[in-house]
Amino acid sequence: MTEKANQFTGPKQYLEKSFLEELNYKIWSTKASRFNADKRLKTKAKFSNISLAFLSAYLIIASLISVYNINSGNSENIINYIITALSILVLVVSQFENAQDYKLNARIFHDCGLELSLLYNDLRVFKTLKSKPSEYEVYTFAKNLSEKYQTVLRNYQNHSPIDYDIFQINNVNYFKTVAPEKVTPKNIKKVKRRYSWEIYGWYSVMIILPPILILGIILIVN
pLDDT at 3: 38
Residue 3 covered by a domain: no
Each residue's pLDDT, cut to its tens digit, for the chain (222 residues) gives 333 444 445 555 555 568 888 999 999 999 999 999 999 999 999 999 999 999 999 888 888 877 766 655 556 677 788 888 888 988 998 999 889 999 999 999 999 999 999 999 999 999 888 778 888 998 999 999 999 999 999 999 999 999 999 999 999 999 999 889 999 999 999 999 999 999 999 999 989 988 888 777 767 766
Residue 118 covered by a domain: yes
Alpha-carbon distance 121 to 135, whole Å?
21
49, 141, 154 from 115: Cα distances, Å: 29, 17, 13
1, 2, 177, 183, 202 from 5: Cα distances, Å: 12, 9, 17, 24, 47
Greatest C-alpha distance within the chain: 91
> What sign for the dihedral angle of Cα 28, 34, 40, 43?
negative
Residue 131 covered by a domain: yes
- N-terminal to C-terminal alpha carbon distance within the chain: 86
Residue 136 covered by a domain: yes
Residue 203 covered by a domain: no
Residue 178 covered by a domain: no
Type of residue found at 76: E
pLDDT at 6: 47
Q: Whole domain around residue 118: which residue ranges?
A: 16-159+210-221
pLDDT in tens, 30-61: 999 999 999 999 999 999 999 999 999 988 88
pLDDT at 12: 55
Written in H, E and C, the secondary structure of 204-215 is HHHHHHHHHHHH
Residue 117 covered by a domain: yes
CB-based contact 38:112 (threshold 8 Å): no
Residue 88 covered by a domain: yes
Annotate 97-124 with DSSP letters as a single string: HHHH-HHHHHHHHHHHHHHHHHHHHHHH
The total of structural domains in the chain comes to 1
User: Residues 178, 184, 186, CA angle at the centre, nearest 5°?
Assistant: 155
